[in-house]
Structure 1
Amino acid sequence: MTWTLPNTLTVIRLATAPGLALVFLLLPRPLADWAALILFVGAAATDWLDGRLARAWGQESAFGAMLDPIADKAMVALALLVVAALSGLSVWTLLPASLILFREVFVSGLREYLGAAAGLLKVTRLAKWKTTLQMTAISLLFAQGIFAHYFGMGVFGMDGATVDGILSGAIPDEGGLNALYLGLQLTSYGGLALLWVAAALTVVTGWDYFRKALPLLTEART
C-alpha cells in the first residue's frame, strides 16, 4: 500500500463510519447532530474527490480499488443505522433503510461469488444517481435533528395557540420560528422522500445487476 492522498482520503472515510454512531453516544444533542452532519458530508465529499484525484494524478491502486467500495458501504450502512435509531425505528425510515442495506449485501455477495468475472458488472449511471440520492437523504435527515432542537427551544414555554399564531403570521415572528419550522419540514419530509426514491432505485439497480449476472452464474455452475 502507498499512502497517496486519494488512499488517505479513502481510509479517513472508512474511519468516519463508526464515528457517526459514536458522536451520539459521547455528545449531547444537538452537538451530536452537528458532528454527524459534518462527518457525513465531509466523508461524502471525499468519496467524490478521491477517485478523481487518483485518476488525474495517475495514483490508482489495487488497495484503493479494494477499499473504496468498502468505505462507501460502511459509511452508508452505519449512517442508515443511526438515522433509523433516531427515528425511533419508524417504519417510514426503517423500511427503505432495510431495502438499501439488503441490496448492498446482496450485490456485494454476488460480486464476491463471481470473483474476477464481477468486473463485467459495470456501475451504471442509475446506480450513481442512487448513491447521490442516498447521500443527500441521509444528510437531510441528520440536519432534521438540528432544526428540531432549535425549533423546540424556540417554542419552549409557549402554548399551542401562540405557536399557531406565529406560524400563521397573526403574531410577529421575533424568534425566526417560521424559518426553523420550514427547515424542519424540508429536512424531515424531504429527507424521507429522497430516502424512499433512493430505496426504489436501489431495488431497480439491484435487480439489474442480478439480471446481468445470471449468465455468469450459469457459466460458474457449469
Structure 2
Amino acid sequence: MIWTVPNVLTMLRLLAAPGLAVMFLYFHRPWADWFALLLFVGAAVTDWFDGYLARSWKQTTRLGTMLDPIADKAMVVIALMVIVGYSSMSPWLVLPATVILFREVFVSGLREYLGDTAGTLKVTKLAKWKTTAQMVAIAVLFAQGVFEHYLWGSTDGMDQAVVDAILTGGGDDDLGLRWKYDGMIWSGHAGLWLLWLAAALTLASGVDYLRKALPFLKD
C-alpha cells in the first residue's frame, strides 16, 4: 500500500464510517448526535481534500481510486442506517433512504459484474453532485437530532401546558426552548428536503450508469 496523504485521508474516512454507529453505542444523546455530526462532517471534508490533493500532487493511485467510492458509500449507508434506526420510521425519511441505499448496492454490483469493463462507469459530475447532496442532507439530519434532544432535555419534568405556553410566546423562555424548537423543526424539514433531492440525483445517476452498462448486458 502506498501511504500518500490522499490515501491516508481516504483510509481515515473509511474507518470513520463504522465510527458513526459506535458513537450511539457508547455515548448518550445528544452527545452521540454531536460526535456523529462532527465525525461525519470531518470525513466529508476529507472527501474533497483527498481528491484535490491527489490531483494537485499527482499522487493518484489505483488503491485510492478503488477505496474512495467505497469510503463514500460506507459513510452514506451507515449514516442513513443510524438516522433511520433512531427516527420515528416516517415514510418521508425511509423512502428516500431506501432509494439511495438501493442505488448504491445496485451500482456496486453492476461494477463488479462488468469486471474489466467497469471503466465504462466512470464517476460523472452528476454522481459527484449526488454524493455532495447526500452528505449535506445527512449532516443536517444529524443536526436535527442535536436540537431535538437539547429541547427534550430542557423540558424534562416540565408540565406540557407550560412548554406549550413558552413555545407559543405566552411565557418566559429562560431555557431557550423556542430557538431549540425552531432549530429542530427547520433542520428536520431542511434535512428531509435535501434527502429527497439527494434521492432524485441518486436515482438519475443510477439510471445513467445502467444506460451506459446496457451494451455489456445484452446477453
User: Taking structure 1 as the reference length, what is the TM-score of the superposition?
Assistant: 0.92
Q: Distance in 1 between matches of 2:153 and 2:101?
A: 35
Q: Distance in 2 between matches of 1:122 and 1:60?
A: 15
Counterpart of 2:191? 191
Counterpart of 1:129? 129
Q: Does 1:166 align with 2:166?
A: yes
Q: CA shift at 1:101, angstroms?
A: 0.9
Q: CA shift at 1:115, angstroms?
A: 2.2
Write the deviation string for residues 83-134 of structure 1: whole angstroms up to 9, x where unpaired: 1101143322222111111101111111122223222223232222211111
Q: Distance in 2 between matches of 1:125 and 1:3?
A: 27
Gaps of 5+ in 2: none
Counterpart of 1:105? 105
- What SS does structure 2 have at the residue aligned with 1:3? coil
Gaps of 5+ in 1: none
Q: Distance in 1 between matches of 2:186 and 2:136?
A: 12
Q: Distance in 2 between matches of 1:171 and 1:126?
A: 49
Counterpart of 2:3? 3
Q: Distance in 1 between matches of 2:149 and 2:200?
A: 30
Q: Distance in 2 between matches of 1:165 and 1:26?
A: 36
Paired residue type of 2:186? L
Q: CA shift at 1:39, angstroms?
A: 0.8
Q: Indicate the larger mover: 110-119 or 36-45.
A: 110-119
Paired residue type of 1:192? L
Counterpart of 2:47? 47
Q: Distance in 2 between matches of 1:65 and 1:129?
A: 18
Q: CA shift at 1:189, angstroms?
A: 1.6
Counterpart of 2:20? 20
Q: Distance in 1 between matches of 2:142 and 2:185?
A: 13
Counterpart of 2:85? 85
Paired residue type of 2:125? R
Counterpart of 2:63? 63
Q: CA shift at 1:9, angstroms?
A: 0.5
- What SS does structure 1 have at the residue aligned with 2:217? helix
Paired residue type of 1:152? W
Write the deviation string for residues 61-98 of structure 1: whole angstroms up to 9, x where unpaired: 11101111111111111111111101143322222111
Q: Distance in 2 between matches of 1:130 and 1:172?
A: 44
Q: CA shift at 1:181, angstroms?
A: 1.0
Q: Indicate the larger mover: 162-171 or 2-11.
A: 162-171
Identity rate, percent: 61
Counterpart of 1:116? 116
C-alpha RMSD over aligned residues = 1.5
Q: Distance in 1 between matches of 2:31 and 2:105?
A: 32
Query: Which 4+ stretches in 1 moved above 6 angstroms?
Result: none
Counterpart of 2:215? 215
Q: Indicate the larger mover: 171-180 or 1-10.
A: 171-180
* Length, aligned pairs only: 219
Counterpart of 2:181? 181
Paired residue type of 2:24? F
Q: Distance in 2 between matches of 1:130 and 1:193?
A: 14
Q: CA shift at 1:166, angstroms?
A: 2.1
Q: Distance in 1 between matches of 2:128 and 2:72?
A: 12
Paired residue type of 2:195? L
- What SS does structure 2 have at the residue aligned with 1:77? helix
- What SS does structure 2 have at the residue aligned with 1:171? coil
